[in-house]
Structures are given as C-alpha cells and as structure tokens.
Structure 1
Amino acid sequence: MNKSAFLLAIVFLTRVPVPIKGEVDEALLNHASRYFSLVGLLIGLFLAVIYFILQSIFPVEVAVILTLAAGVILTGAFHEDGFADVWDGFGGGWSVEQKLTIMKDSRLGTYGAAALCLLLLLKYQLLVGLAEHWYWVCIALICGHTLSRTMATSLIGLLPYVQQDMQSKVKPIVQSLSKSARESLYGCALAVLLVCWGFDLFNLWHCVTLVGCLVLLRSLCIRWFRWQLGGYTGDCLGAAQQCAEVVVYMVCLLIWL
C-alpha cells in the first residue's frame, strides 16, 4: 500500500486532518483513486459503530438521524453538495454553459434544496425501515458507503470531463483510472460482499441483485450526464455516489424484509 496515496484519499473524501509528507503531484493524485472504496469502507465502519452505540441509548429514529449527521460532519457533506449542485444545474439551466455556471455557484437553489431534503428523508426512512435488527443498519451503512464510492469512482474515464479544473468548485481527483486502480476499487467492493456472504447476510442471488442494480444505475448515470452535459464534472460523481448509496439501502430493505 502506498501510504501517502491512501492518506491523500482520506483527505480528499473526509474532513479528517491527516498529514501528508512530500509533494502532492499528479501521479500521487492518480494513485489515490484506488483507495476510494477502502476509505468508503472505513467511513461505513465508523458510522456503523456510531449507530450501534446510539441505538442502545436512544430510539432508533433518533439514532439514525444522529448517525446521518455524523456522516455529514465526517465527510463535510462532500457528495451531498455535488448532488444538490447537479439538480440545481440540470433543473435550472438550458444550455451546457448555463448548467455549468449554476453548478459552480456556491448558493443553493430551489431544485438543489428540494432534492437534498428528499434525499436525506429517503435515507432516514430506509435506515429506520432496516432498524428491526441493529446489525441490518450497520451492514447497510458499510455496504452503502463502500459500494457507492466504487460505483461513482468507476465513472472516471468513461465520460469526458467537461469543465476546466480552474473553473470547477468540486474537482475530480483524476480524469482517468488505470487498470490496477479499477482492480483495487472492485476488489475492495468484492471483499465486502464476500464477507457478508460468508456471514450469511447475503446469498448469491442477493449479491447478484445488488451488483446488478448498481451496474444499471451506473449505466443510467452515464446516459444522464452525457445527455445533460456531454460528459461529467466532480459534482456528477458526488451525485452518482449519493444515488448509489440510496440504491444499496433500498436493495438491503427489499432483501431483508
């Protein structure tokens, strides 16, 4: 493991203040992308521990809200910001230039505010629906944060990047993924699924269903971003991650209930 690249991935995806020795260059940035799934796994594990503690103290509804809040604080609402910007831009702009200009604006518009409220409400309701057993919520959080970052990161290189880095409010860390980086991303996601299978939380068809839904979502995101922008921006990756996280929670709810 490249320690500097791993620490850079943590810095990029979270608000955890970790020191990075040496110069951050393009090669290190490119290498860091392979650890995005692993960072997602660590975020999911942290939130699972938070929920486990909170649900023993508070009603599950309160525990879910506080866990979601902890996730927002830990990540700095990084992906939620991209999700809201995408809806603002796609909803309020007519031309590609107008959409990109709106997405760069730090102010939150009606489309973005409405979409973000609905997103958080949906996450809350799905996790409360899984709260019949505390470990269902924990596993959903771990799978959701790991697999969603795998799916979102896998979009890099499949579409052209349509915005100059100096103009973008949320920049992609790289604009292409190497074969080894993709293998690392998918390997981490596969390891999580195999552990869940080994503990009899998922069977083979559950794993196939979950992966199939994420593959379908990725295809829809590619078509959506290409139709709206002719490519993607960093905000688009954030929106894809949030959509994938919700899809994982939905599939878990359908599987276990």
Structure 2
Amino acid sequence: MPRLRDMAAEIALALQFLSRIPVGGAAPYTPERWARIPCWFGLVGLGLGGVAAALLWTGAQVFPQPVAVILTLGLMLLLTGALHEDGLADAADGMGGGRTPDRALEIMRDSRIGSYGVLALVVALGLQTVCLALLPLPWAMGALVLAHAFSRAIMALALGQGRYLRPRGAGTGLDRPLGARGLALTGAALLAAIGFGVALALPVGAILVALSISSVASAVWLRFARNKIAGDTGDTLGAAQVIAATACLIGVVAWV
C-alpha cells in the first residue's frame, strides 16, 4: 500500500507539473517522489494526447476540421498552461539573441517575449495546425496521441542525462537517470500510443517515419542548445517538447 500511494502521488505530481489539471491533495510532495516524476512523463503525455484526440473528434462533429484543429490546439494550450510553448519562445530568444552562454541564459530568464520567440511560436503552431488539418480525422487523432506521448518521453530522457543547469528552476531535482523502472514506464507509454494510432488506421510506416523525424529533430535541438549553453534548462527542454511534437506531426504528413 505505501508503494501504491507513492506511485499515485508521483503520477499526480507529474500531471500537476505538465498541466493545469487540478489534483488537489493527491500530490503530496517529497523530494524522493519529485525526483521520480519524469518516469511518468510519457504516460501523462499519453493521457494528454487522448484528451486532445477527444477534443478534435468532438470539434470535428460540429465544425470543419481546420476549425476543430485550431480549437483543439487552443484548448490544449489552456490545459497545459502553454508551459512548453513558453519555453520554446524563451529558448528561441536566448539562442537567437545571446552571443555568449551567460547572455543567452539571461535572456531566457526575461519574461518578455522577443521577435525570435514570436517567430518560433508562429512557425511551430502554424505547422501543427496545417499538419492536423491535412490528415484524415482518425489519422490526426492518432498523430496527436503519438506526438504528445513521444515528446514528453523525450523530455524525460533528456532530464535523465543529468545536464540541467539551474540550481532553481522547473527541472531542479528531476535530472536523475530514469533507471529500469522509468525506461519501462516510458516504453509502455510509447507502445500504448503506437497501439492507439494503429487502432485508428494510422499506418505503421507513418508512425515509424514520425518517430524517426521527431527523434532527429529533438536530438539536433538539444545538441545545439547544449553546445550553446553547456547544458539544459526548463526552457530548452520545453522547446524540445514542442519541436518533437511538431516534427512528429510532420512525419505523419510526410507519409500521406
């Protein structure tokens, strides 16, 4: 029973961290539980992807699919508090405007958004909208689940490499190796997301292309950011999530 309570609290903490969904007293904090929440990122992403797919299906029953896509993306931004998109904007400003690592980190700490941040958000959200609008509705639903689960798994794997820079920040205390348990849970989330996509007639080839493009895009981004500032921050990891999710949707469209 104590172990089950720990697991429930870890899941609630992960959900609280990655979304605005209220969990009330279900997420009592301890440093040990907090350190283990990346193990659940993939499964939380799977759940968020399921919510996005349900929203898209519901919207498409009333509106043309492009309108349903925009409404779905907007509602998901509210549900997640635009956590990762904020990271993308800050990281783009820091990488674009910072000539030195210290200056890049200083810019990323600034709450104001600059031109690089605006452009990054427009491009990312624009690509997501176009990709989902171009796909058949069942494929779009499957792609959403895949993108949400895989992109959160990317964050967990990146944190597990122990390159988090800030002594205080969103990822503080989370940068520990996932271990066998964490890798198993992350793998289970990805397998479930793949199974959901296959159940919605998403071709296996499209899934493999999507995961490949997403893996490469997020790896290139993380390598670039780490070369620039010698590590990770909450902003660069949030940007990795948006990049991975967007690249995943692009991969599915590339198969069409």
TM-score of the pair, normalised by structure 2: 0.91
Q: What whole-Å deviation, never above 9, does each CA across 1:138-182 have from its counterpart, x for those lacking one? A: 1111111111111122111325222221xx4x4356011331212
Are the aligned partners of 2:162 and 2:177 in contact in 1 as well (CA < 8 Å)? Answer: no
What is the CA-CA distance between 1:208 and the residue it aligns to?
3.5
What is the CA-CA distance between 1:113 and the residue it aligns to?
1.1
Are the aligned partners of 2:159 and 2:174 in contact in 1 as well (CA < 8 Å)? Answer: yes
Aligned equivalent of 1:219: 219
Aligned equivalent of 2:191: 190
Q: Point out where structure 2 has 5 or more consecutive residues left out of the alignment.
A: none
**Equivalent residue of 2:23, what SS?**
coil
What is the CA-CA distance between 1:241 and the residue it aligns to?
0.4
Aligned equivalent of 1:201: 202
Are the aligned partners of 2:138 and 2:200 in contact in 1 as well (CA < 8 Å)? Answer: no
**Equivalent residue of 1:163, what SS?**
coil
Q: What whole-Å deviation, never above 9, does each CA across 1:170-213 have from its counterpart, x for those lacking one? A: 4356011331212211221123214434665233x444433332
Residues in 1 aligned to 2:111 and 2:40: alpha-carbon distance in whole angstroms: 28
Residues in 1 aligned to 2:245 and 2:218: alpha-carbon distance in whole angstroms: 12
After superposition, the Cα gap between the structure-2 partners of 1:91 and 1:212, relative to the gap in structure 1 and judged at 3 Å, is same
Q: What whole-Å deviation, never above 9, does each CA across 1:114-159 have from its counterpart, x for those lacking one? A: 11112111111111111xx221111111111111111122111325
Aligned equivalent of 2:118: 113
Residues in 2 aligned to 1:172 and 1:187: alpha-carbon distance in whole angstroms: 25
Aligned equivalent of 2:174: 174
Residues in 2 aligned to 1:84 and 1:22: alpha-carbon distance in whole angstroms: 29
After superposition, the Cα gap between the structure-2 partners of 1:186 and 1:178, relative to the gap in structure 1 and judged at 3 Å, is same
2:142 aligns with one of 133, 139, 144: 139
Are the aligned partners of 1:162 and 1:232 in contact in 2 as well (CA < 8 Å)? Answer: yes
Higher mean displacement: 232-241 or 150-159: 150-159
Aligned residues: 250
- Kindly report which structure 2 residues correspond to 1:241-256, keeping only aligned pairs within 5 A, or say none: 241-255=241-255
Say yes or no: does 1:157 pair with 2:155.
Answer: no
Are the aligned partners of 2:38 and 2:178 in contact in 1 as well (CA < 8 Å)? Answer: no
Aligned equivalent of 1:35: 40
Residues in 1 aligned to 2:200 and 2:71: alpha-carbon distance in whole angstroms: 27
Residues in 2 aligned to 1:199 and 1:127: alpha-carbon distance in whole angstroms: 14
2:58 aligns with one of 53, 57, 62: 53
Residues in 1 aligned to 2:117 and 2:173: alpha-carbon distance in whole angstroms: 23
1:90 aligns with one of 95, 114, 128: 95
After superposition, the Cα gap between the structure-2 partners of 1:48 and 1:208, relative to the gap in structure 1 and judged at 3 Å, is closer
What is the CA-CA distance between 1:230 and the residue it aligns to?
0.7
Residues in 1 aligned to 2:26 and 2:139: alpha-carbon distance in whole angstroms: 39
After superposition, the Cα gap between the structure-2 partners of 1:58 and 1:196, relative to the gap in structure 1 and judged at 3 Å, is closer
Aligned equivalent of 2:105: 100
Query: When you count helix as a share of all residues, which structure comes out higher?
Result: 2
- Kindly report which structure 2 residues correspond to 1:8-87, keeping only aligned pairs within 5 A, or say none: 8-21=13-26, 23-87=28-92
TM-score of the pair, normalised by structure 1: 0.90
Are the aligned partners of 1:149 and 1:241 in contact in 2 as well (CA < 8 Å)? Answer: yes
What is the CA-CA distance between 1:98 and the residue it aligns to?
0.8
Residues in 1 aligned to 2:100 and 2:130: alpha-carbon distance in whole angstroms: 35
Aligned AA (2:220): L
The two structures, once aligned, show a CA RMSD in angstroms of 1.8
**Equivalent residue of 2:174, what SS?**
coil
